[in-house]
Chain A
């Protein structure tokens, strides 16, 4: 059986290189037959696509998509540089 580290690396590479996602900052962890995705993206569609690509890359694993969708809020306080 392929070591989980290599499977995780393969999934992470797929998330970065697949034309549907191109997401570089997603953390992939594998525990037994469970695969966990963590990180932040800007939209829920992107989160779903990442889950889909991860599933296709490692169909034998159960994918837990724990990616957060972070919406940029209003600009906050100014910083004065002096």
Chain B
């Protein structure tokens, strides 16, 4: 067992974890952050994507101990004071989800994408979310959502986190 201290969605946690524990399992099972989900066992689907110190990572490809001392943002920490993040709002308004299973990871990836490239073309969006699989939407409305969020944040000073 190894002691780790991690800030998740603004709250600090200290826990003993088995060294082999994946970050996604720590989030889901120890902290009850079940908004982040698991879709595969080969780091292929992106369903588990979270932000680790501001960068998007597949939390099934990171050990919990690697997150020691870091700050993690999950889908559950994105909305502030009950106000949806512009990316969440854009997914809702553009029907960017159906079953919603890929959605947390997709939204977290999309936020990271816009951080790197605030005004992406549709092609760049498609390339940018390459690591996130969706079986329901055919991606068209996801691309539309991300594009809309980019436009919304370029026209508001708040920007995209």
Are A and B bound to each other?
A: no
